[in-house]
Amino acid sequence: MSYNVLIAADAREYVSVLDEKSTRIVKENLRKLADDPYPRPKSGSGDQEKVVVDGEEIYRLHIGRTHTAFYDVLEGENEVRVVEIMDIDEAHRRYD
């Protein structure tokens, strides 16, 4: 099953100010969510995880060692909604 990956305005704005290489890396990683948005425990990837941010369960995707994307999966609509992208250090302060 393939999902549509939708990116919120704030997340798009974050990406728009990145350098060319970082923009390419972020976009490549977000595209991967279309095919496999769920964390796979014990798969060795370690970049996806379900976390609690501001009291709500959400998924996070580490992108390289620099950026983190937070996203929801809406099964009924076959959508992945990327709600925020931020510096990885800032992201670590946001979730348990």
- What pLDDT score was predicted for residue 73? 97
| DSSP run (H or E) holding 57 | strand 56-63
- What pLDDT score was predicted for residue 61? 95
Task: Read off the pTM.
Answer: 0.90
For 4-94, CATH number out of 3.30.2310.20, 3.40.190.10, 3.40.605.10, 3.30.70.980 equals 3.30.2310.20
- The sign of the CA dihedral 75, 80, 86, 92 is positive
Domain boundaries, the chain: 4-94
Helix residue ranges, H only, the chain: 9-16, 20-32, 88-94
Burial of 31 from C-beta contacts in 10 A (0-12 / 13-18 / 19+): exposed
- What pLDDT score was predicted for residue 46? 56
- What pLDDT score was predicted for residue 55? 87
- What pLDDT score was predicted for residue 54? 84
CA separation (Å) from 94 to 13, 63, 78? Answer: 19, 16, 27
Per-residue pLDDT of the chain (96 residues; tens, 9 = 90+): 799 999 999 999 999 999 999 999 999 999 999 999 998 766 555 588 999 988 889 999 999 899 999 999 999 999 999 999 999 999 988 875
Determine the Cα–Cα distance for residues 33 and 46; give it in Å rounded to an integer: 14
